[in-house]
Amino acid sequence: MVTQKTIGILGASGYTGAELVRLLLRHPRVDLKVLTADRRAGQSMGDVFPQLAPYDLPRLVAIDDIDWAGVGLDLVFCALPHATTQKVLKDLLAKAPATRVVDLSADFRLRDPAAYAKWYGHEHHALELQKEAVYGLVEMYRREIKAARLIANPGCYTTCAQLPLLPLLKAKAIETDGIVVDAKSGVTGAGRSAKEEMLFCEVSDGFHAYGVGGHRHMAELDQEFSKAAGREVVVSFTPHLVPMNRGILSTIYVRGRRGRTAEDLHAIVSERYAREPFVHVLPFGKTPQTRHVRGSNMTLIGVAADRIPGRAILVSTLDNLTKGASGQAVQNMNLVLGFPETMGIDQPPMFP
């Protein structure tokens, strides 16, 4: 008989929490045992997310009420806000050191404590864990992830930019200066907290850039791009808000190096992902739409020639709540717990 692994979700009342539940409810090997939401403790998930009312789920509890050693979870997803995360996980892993953790916050993504302190304005509160953490971009760190206890699940913007660019940087196929990543995100990326600028009437029927010229998540891009290229890489990056629920699309402008054409770049990316279950490269010249990955864990990448000789335009897209957050987190869980990598996250996109 197949045994189930016991799972907890910390911060289950946010969108990434709900998305984890959606995916795990159909995962054949896990048992959702603990769901936390401090401000909604005592309520059912159906009170917080009515779409889950028909399902049999544990009641929400407060984190402080959990006996980590006693409950003995196999794996915990942590979908808590920045900074809180460090404290909670430090405590959890001290009391129940055998627990595996997939953390969806940005707290453990930076390897360099100095970079962390610079971008976040304070010392890291769990330096030992920061050293231990493995960056959870599956397509790049699959081997390390399998052996990890603490996985830092990548950000949605950064996953969408890394998947097309990393193979090109590693192959030294593009110039490392002058790269432009123009990124557009759906509104779930902002989470569920009530803010005036995320009200329907402030977001619908319009479009805008935000955080122009400076965005905290760039540190994660700098780290991985520089590592891949073997030299410092800093890209221009502008996030925008699209009046849609889910999806990120990045339009990326690059120059081929040493005569590399757009076709050459397409060949490199295509070959790199030929056997990846969650990255699909379109035929040369075709570019993807966010709606064609909605609800799925798939990433679509297109490569086209710019009309300026020697330049190429890449377009990549993924669902920020699945491959950009909860889906990739389940993919990490599958690796860590020894399940088939695609288990529970193999459903096709929902379009329309």
Catalytic residues: 156
Work out how close the CB of 179 gets to a second copy at its nearest, in angstroms, rounded to a whole number: 10
Choice between 39 and 122, CB closer to a second copy = 39
Q: Does 54 bind a second copy (CB under 8 A)?
A: yes
Q: Which of 274, 302, 304, 165 is nearest to 229 (CA)?
A: 165
Q: Which of 240, 257, 267, 337 binds a second copy (CB under 8 A)?
A: 240
- Per the DSSP assignment, residues forming a β-bridge with 155 are none
Select 87 or 192, whichever has its Cβ closest to a second copy: 192
Radius of gyration for the alpha carbons in the chain, expressed in angstroms and rounded: 20
CB of 151 to a second copy, least distance (A): 25
Residue 101 or residue 303: which is nearer to a second copy going by CB?
A: 303
Q: Which of 60, 249, 301, 325 binds a second copy (CB under 8 A)?
A: 249
- Comparison of 91 and 276: residue with beta carbon closer to a second copy: 276
Looking at residues 70 to 109 of the shown chain, list those that interact with a second copy (rule: CB under 8 A): none
Question: Pairing state of beta strands 311-318 and 248-255?
Answer: antiparallel
The H or E element containing residue 6 is: strand 5-10
Tokens standing for residue 216: 């905290």
Q: Is 52 in the site for a second copy (CB under 8 A)?
A: yes
CB of 76 to a second copy, least distance (A): 21
Residues 276-315: x where in contact with a second copy by CB under 8 A, - otherwise, as a string:
----x-x--x-xxxxxxxxxx-x-x-x-xxxxx--x-x-x
Rule CB under 8 A: say whether 274 interacts with a second copy. Answer: no
- From the CB of 184, what's the least distance to a second copy, in Å? 6
Evaluate the CA torsion angle 40, 46, 51, 56 in order and state its sign: positive
Q: How many residues bind a second copy (CB under 8 A)?
A: 89
| For a second copy, the closer CB: 130 or 317 | 317
288 and 160 Cβ atoms separated by less than 8 Å: no
Which parts of 149-208 interact with a second copy (CB under 8 A)?
A: 178, 180, 182, 184, 186-188, 192-196, 198-208
Residue 50 is a binding residue for a second copy (CB under 8 A)? yes
Q: Are 173 and 260 in contact (CB under 8 A)?
A: yes
Element (H, E) at 70: helix 68-71
Give the residue from 21, 51, 24 showing the smallest Cα distance to 36.
21
Q: Looking only at residues 8 through 27 of this chain, which bind a second copy when binding is defined by CB under 8 A?
A: 15, 18, 21-22, 25-26
Question: For residue 352, is the peptide bond before it cis, meaning its omega torsion is within 30 degrees of 0?
Answer: yes
User: Which residues, 330 to 349, sit near a second copy by CB under 8 A?
Assistant: 346-349
Residue pair 306/325 in contact (Cβ under 8 Å)? The answer is: no
Per the CB < 8 A criterion, the answer to whether 237 and 218 are in contact is: yes
Q: Which of residues 24-43 bind a second copy (CB under 8 A)?
A: 25-26
Bridge partners, residue 135, by sequence: 152
Q: How far out from the chain centre does Cα 8 lie?
A: 18
> Between residue 198 and residue 217, which ones bind a second copy under the rule CB under 8 A?
198-210, 212-214
Minimum Å gap between C-beta 177 and a second copy is 8
User: What is d(CA 302, CA 138) in angstroms, rounded to the nearest whole number?
Assistant: 20
Q: Which residues pair with 10 in a beta bridge?
A: 36, 78
Which contiguous run of DSSP H or E holds residue 251?
strand 248-255
**Nearest distance from residue 241's CB to a second copy, in Å?**
9
Q: Closest approach of Cβ 142 to a second copy, in Å?
A: 19
